[in-house]
Structure formats: C-alpha cells, structure tokens
Amino acid sequence: MAAWGQRLAGVRGVLLDISGVLFDGAEGSGVPIAGSVEAVARLKRSRLKVRFCTNESQKSLGDLVRLLQQLGFDISEGEVTAPAPATCLILKERGLRPYLLIHDGIRSEFDQIDTSNPNCVVIADAGESFSYQNMNKAFQVLMELENPVLISLGKGRYYKETSGLMLDVGAYVKALEYACGIEAEVVGKPSPEYFKSALQEMGLEAHQAVMIGDDIVGDVGGAQQCGMRALQVRTGKFRARGHQPVSP
C-alpha cells in the first residue's frame, strides 16, 4: 500500500459523511464517535476545504445541524449538502406534486410544496412511518400514473443507530420498484449529481477531493465513480465480515 502522503497527493478538500462517521444516531439524539469532534476541528484549522455530505432524511437540515452543534461539532447549515432541498428544486422545476412517504422530522422541508392530487411519490428514510398502510398508499399512487415517478432521498441499505442496525430507505425503494416494475430516481448519494453539486460548492475538481464515509456503496463507490478518492471508516455501519453491501 502506498504511503498516505502519496495516496492523498493533491487533495485540497474533504467531504465528510455525517451518520456513522461523526456520530451514531438514536431517536432524536446521538453520540459522537470517539475522536470525531476533534478531527473536524483539526480539518477546519488545516488548509483543506471541508464539506458535510449526508443522505439524512429523517431530520430537517436545521434540526440535524443543531444536534451536531450540541454534540460539540463546528458545523453550520451552509456547509452541508443534503438531499431534501435538492428534491424540492426538482419538484418545482418539473411541476411534480408528491405523495410524501417521509419521516415527520423532515416534513417541514416540504412546506412550500403542493401535495394535492399527487402525480409522483417522494420516499425518504421514513422510519416508523414505513407502515403497510403508507407503503400501500405510495404504491397505489404510482400504479394510477401513466408514467410513474418515484424520487428517493438516497438509496442506503441500512444504517446504525445506538440500538442496532436499521433498515434504510433503499430497502423500501426496492419494494416499490419491484411491485410497480419501475426504477426510482435517486437524489443524494450515490448519484453523481449529488457529488458534483458538493464539489461545486467547494470550488474543487473531483481529483482534488476525498470522500470519507462508512458506506462502501453510497459513499465510497459513489465518490469513486465521480473521479474522487474515497476512504471507508471502520465506524457506523462498517462490518469487517458478513453481508457488507458490495454493489449498488
């Protein structure tokens, strides 16, 4: 293995995943991962540009940043790339009125969106709201449409909370894709648009940046496909053996 200096030659910016890298979440709160508060502080004191890249879709951006600040992180809303605001832009541009299969914690992000007479479905990490009733409603909306549009905030398989591994939005996306015979549009990691938008915010080219995450598909694979370097941490959902996802 090449020395670290060589492997990171030319890097001018770092993209940091949040959940599983900075902290392990729990219902409404979380615990910082050992060393991560200080690591962020050191990165921000260095000459490197830092951006936080999350698929968080249970909490609004404001709530997430407030929580991280309470845990001791030096972070502000303007430093975070998150899928909900990007989704709202897409909905407005295309005149889409979503049925929202989402967590109550993120509903405020969609306050300005018309949800009457839905002509698409937006799905995010809905947690307990992934009831049979809600899934069926989303399914029925899609089946009524001539050209069904399913927009997914990320496509993660699972994530880690302090209480254990939890199913993520990607599993429920697969369920709707299979039932309807369609393919979802993913907003967030690992979509190339997501990484490009984060790089643009940083004013960097792909070869100048390294993505640090705990998801081998969403973080590492997605970033590498955009020409970035990537590192997988051994915290969060990382598992040394077993059923580590290897393909998207």
Instruction: Rule CB under 8 A: choose which of 13, 154, 170, 190 binds a second copy.
Output: 170
Instruction: Rule CB under 8 A: choose which of 136, 196, 203, 207 binds a second copy.
Output: 136
**Residue 167 binding a second copy, by CB under 8 A:** yes
Number of residues that bind a second copy (CB under 8 A): 40
Number of residues assigned to the chain: 248
**Please, are residues 30 and 24 in contact by the beta-carbon 8 Å criterion?**
yes
Nearer to a second copy, 5 or 181 (CB): 181
Residues in 10-69 that interact with a second copy by CB under 8 A:
none
Nearer to a second copy, 39 or 182 (CB): 182
**Residue 146 binding a second copy, by CB under 8 A:** yes
Least distance in angstroms from the C-beta of 140 to a second copy = 6
**Residue 177 binding a second copy, by CB under 8 A:** yes
Dihedral over Cα of 102, 107, 111, 116: its sign: positive
Task: Kindly state the tokens that stand for 81.
Answer: 């790339």
**Please, are residues 41 and 75 in contact by the beta-carbon 8 Å criterion?**
no
**Residue 243 binding a second copy, by CB under 8 A:** yes
**Please, are residues 57 and 102 in contact by the beta-carbon 8 Å criterion?**
yes
Secondary structure in 3-state letters for 149-190 = CEEEECCCCEEEECCEEEECHHHHHHHHHHHHCCCCEEECCC
Instruction: Rule CB under 8 A: choose which of 108, 113, 158, 206 binds a second copy.
Output: 158
**Please, are residues 219 and 211 in contact by the beta-carbon 8 Å criterion?**
yes
**Residue 165 binding a second copy, by CB under 8 A:** yes
Q: Which stretch binds a second copy (CB under 8 A): 10-18, 33-41, 56-64, 135-143?
A: 135-143
CA distances from 136 to 125, 226, 232 (A): 16, 35, 36
Q: Using CB under 8 A, list all residues that contact a second copy.
A: 126-133, 135-136, 139-140, 142-143, 146, 148, 157-158, 164-168, 170-172, 174-182, 242-246
